[in-house]
Structure 1
Amino acid sequence: MSDTPALNWDLPSPFTQQITVSPDDTDRLGHANNVVYLRWLEDVSWAHIESLGMTWALHEETGKAMAITRTEIDYLASANAGDELELGTWLTDFDGRFRSARQFQLIRKSDGKTLVRALSTHACVDMKSQRPSRMPPEFKRILGSVLVTGGRGLDQPTS
């Protein structure tokens, strides 16, 4: 039996990515820098949608992409060099036309402590004009197939 606590996810069945905090990830205070957390959120987002078939090739083929319009991050505790983390994400909102949202939870594996909760919102844009655009059917099919209910949603404040 392992002494490692079970990870208590906010929502069921997250898409996850393992992270080991490197010394290069830390700042002058000795913990992971805020910019690093943002990079981790972007990395897991891309890995998640690509695993669903929403590849960069599909983006280029359709000429559309989902651009981040807002990111909210609640830093609850710090991560330090050497910490083993698990970052989970869920697609939690999708209007079927232009917008989607995803939630994140970052947990330190050694003690099961949630270090970060975050929410990002996205809008579909035309890749050439960079202007808002309706989602292509391929995006609707993929994003609509993995929506997790019970998330914070697009219009709910963070707690």
Structure 2
Amino acid sequence: MDSSLPIFEQHRRVSTNEIDDLNHVNNVVYVQWANDVASKHWTTVAPQEILDQYDWVMIKHCIEYKQSAILDDNILIKTQVGRATNVRYERFIEIYKEDSMELLAKTVSDWCAIDKNGKPVRISQELRELFEVAE
């Protein structure tokens, strides 16, 4: 992650419904966590009038699994945005076992801004500035 940009953090605890038949967090859950932290980041930085106009959709997602999380682990999820193009924003997410700060997974994804009709919109300077301010 780029230390010059703000990092948004979210804490959670692994629950029973996130555990698979191998007794660890199912890989699909990490993708859900990535989606959830990105969504929470957006709703935290954007004022209501912007939230009423725009949404984001994940259009590309690459994840690298490092270690397994298990039931009742405390998890720290960090995210920040990267480069932006006209309609895409890069997002980085790192998922840690909070007690040891052991990296469990890291992701790089591309997100597209959309209007409330689901049509892609240009990422304006106003949208870019929302992610550049420290939370």
TM-score where L is the length of structure 2? 0.84
How far apart are residue 68 of structure 1 and its match? 1.0
Q: Does the aligned pair in 1 maintain the 2:43–2:51 contact within 8 Å? A: no
* Match status 1:99 vs 2:88: yes
Please give the alpha-carbon distance, in whole angstroms, between the structure 2 residues aligned to 1:86 and 1:116.
Answer: 11
Q: What is the match of residue 118 of structure 1?
A: 107
Please give the alpha-carbon distance, in whole angstroms, between the structure 1 residues aligned to 2:41 and 2:121.
Answer: 22
Q: What is the match of residue 13 of structure 2?
A: 20
Q: Per the alignment, in what secondary structure is the counterpart of residue 39 of structure 1?
A: helix
Q: What is the match of residue 88 of structure 1?
A: 78
Q: Does the aligned pair in 2 maintain the 1:32–1:79 contact within 8 Å? A: yes
Q: Does the aligned pair in 2 maintain the 1:124–1:133 contact within 8 Å? A: yes
Aligned residue runs from structure 1 range 1-159, under 5 A? 10-12=1-3, 14-53=7-46, 55=48, 58-60=50-52, 62=53, 64-95=54-85, 97-128=86-117, 130-136=118-124, 138-143=126-131, 145-146=132-133
Give the AA of the match of 2:31.
Answer: L
Q: Does the aligned pair in 2 maintain the 1:88–1:106 contact within 8 Å? A: yes
Measured against aligned partners, the alpha-carbon deviations of 1:32-79 in whole angstroms (never above 9, x if no partner) come to 012211121111112112221255x5233x3x3222111111111110
Specify whether residues 11 and 141 from structure 1 end up closer, same or farther in structure 2 by C-alpha distance, changes over 3 A only. closer
Q: Which has the higher strand share?
A: 2
Provide the aligned length of Structure 1 versus Structure 2: 132
Give the share of equivalent positions with the same residue, in percent.
Answer: 23
Q: Does the aligned pair in 2 maintain the 1:54–1:139 contact within 8 Å? A: no
Give the AA of the match of 2:89.
Answer: S
- Which ranges of structure 2 fall in alignment gaps of 5 or more residues? none
Please give the alpha-carbon distance, in whole angstroms, between the structure 2 residues aligned to 1:120 and 1:86.
Answer: 18
Specify whether residues 54 and 117 from structure 1 end up closer, same or farther in structure 2 by C-alpha distance, changes over 3 A only. farther
Moved over 6 A (4+): none
